[in-house]
Amino acid sequence: MNGEPLVLIAETWQRELAKGFRDPGELLVYLGLADDVRDQTHQAAAAFPLRVPRYFADLMRHGDPADPLLRQILPVAEELVSVPGYVADPVGDLGVSIGGGLLQKYAGRALLVTTGACAVHCRYCFRRHYPYGTDAAIRHRWKAPLEVLSGRPDIVEVILSGGDPLSLSDENLRALINGLEGLPHLRRLRIHSRLPIVLPARMTRDLIEMLSRSRLVVSLVVHVNHPREVTLRLGEALAPLRREGIVMLNQSVLLAGVNDDPQVLAKLSERLFDVGVLPYYLHQLDPVAGAAHFQVDDDRARALYESLRARLPGYLVPRLVADRPGSAAKVPL
Ligand SMILES: *Cc1c(COP(=O)(O)O)cnc(C)c1O
Ligand code: SF4
């Protein structure tokens, strides 16, 4: 993963990030689980390394090998099994580049791959094989994506994605956001991030000020899969954004052994709402190589969704969607 130069580790969150777990054996010992990391786990970790901040590891249940938070991040042997239909680029990212690190699939909005770095490595990530090295746009003060966007007045919303855009420093984000604000046709800025969830300390005062003072209409789409990820600490970290009126949404991925249970999904929506976040999407897993063991088939996904509708007010039911390459939008199931 190609992060930023390490010379700027000044902020608390950056120090916390640097201290995160990167070794599966060390994490298992920390969680009171036998260190039975076999060769295959090491192989899985070699292909896509383990990475998790201590804050998030502390939300896992001690001594529970089936913990739903642990399952999201622990490299396992099943990842090495090749399953037909599970490929490196399941959502067709590579065919929709418009240059400068920008991907466009849908009308009016484009997604900027800002960096390959993430605070946590999610085993089901659909970009786990993405060739960030060739497309990350961070270099030269964002000149390349800004040039592309200045010639595209039809694009009114930019989505910062990655990797995780909030793994960039505030300084680097400010340069990018300033540049985007200078494009007169641009109206909305959306940030897709899992960082507030796995490292709430990332929500610095500088960042919050930057977002709330922008001339663009800013929204934050977080990524939470399980209700235990929604903590008091997260609520505190998001409260200033809520006060500033920044719209906060959540997207989850439907994951076997993590959240494929209507009670878990209902509790997730309710806890999110408690901290000012509305459910947006519940994604059917993208068939990315190495993640087949997380798959919930479409019929079960629909049944779970119906059961969720029967439990919650409509505004707490996320849209169940799949990303099908070539479609004009995410496809409802
Ligand atoms: C998912 C996605 C979006 C966002 O879609 P919305 O329906 O607007 O949330 C935008 N661009 C790309 C390339 C995407 O994959
Ligand atoms: S934080 Fe997002 S981009 Fe990073 S590994 Fe997890 S799912 Fe993938």
Is the CB–ligand 2 distance for residue 163 below 6 Å?
yes
pLDDT band, very low/low/confident/very high, at 139 (cuts 50, 70, 90): low
Is 306 a residue whose pLDDT tops 80?
Answer: yes
Q: Tell which atom from ligand 2 comes closest to the C-alpha of 161.
A: 3
133's tokens: 């090295």
74's tokens: 């622990």
pLDDT band, very low/low/confident/very high, at 1 (cuts 50, 70, 90): very low
Q: Residues lining ligand 1, CB < 6 A?
A: 103, 105-106, 109, 111, 159, 329-330
Concatenating the DSSP letter of every residue in 286-329 gives P-BTT-GGG---HHHHHHHHHHHHTTS-GGG--EEEE--TT-SS
Is the CB–ligand 2 distance for residue 318 below 6 Å?
no
- Domain parsing of the chain, residue ranges: 14-80, 93-332
For all residues of the chain together, what is the average pLDDT?
Answer: 93
> d(Cα 102, Cα 162) in Å, to the nearest integer?
10
As a whole-number percent, the residues of the chain with pLDDT over 90 amount to 86
> Per-residue pLDDT tens for 78-117?
999 999 999 999 988 889 999 999 999 999 999 999 999 9
> d(Cα 330, Cα 105) in Å, to the nearest integer?
10
Q: Average the pLDDT over 24-46 and give the result.
A: 84
Q: Between the CA of residue 294 and those of 51, 102, 143, 256, 265, what are the distances in Å?
A: 19, 29, 39, 5, 16
pTM: 0.95
Distance 123 CA to ligand 2 centre (A): 8
Closest alpha carbon to 179 in 212, 206, 137, 143: 143
Q: Which of 79, 91, 125 best tests ligand 2's pocket when mutated (most atoms within 8 Å of CB)? A: 125
Confidence at residue 49, expressed as pLDDT on a 0 to 100 scale:
95
Residue 253 belongs to what H/E stretch?
Answer: strand 247-253
> d(Cα 38, Cα 62) in Å, to the nearest integer?
20
pLDDT band, very low/low/confident/very high, at 11 (cuts 50, 70, 90): confident
Is 5 a residue whose pLDDT tops 60?
Answer: no
Strands 97-99 and 109-113: unpaired
- The region of weakest confidence among 25-29, 230-234, 279-283 is 25-29
> Per-residue pLDDT tens for 182-211?
999 999 999 999 999 999 999 999 999 999
Distance 126 CA to ligand 2 centre (A): 8
CATH architecture of the domain 93-332 equals: Alpha-Beta Barrel (3.20)
Distance 192 CA to ligand 2 centre (A): 10
Three-state SS for 120-136 is: CCCCCCCCCCCCHHHHC
Tell me if 186 sits within 8 A of 140, measured CB to CB. Answer: no
Q: Average the pLDDT over 35-46 and give the result.
A: 77
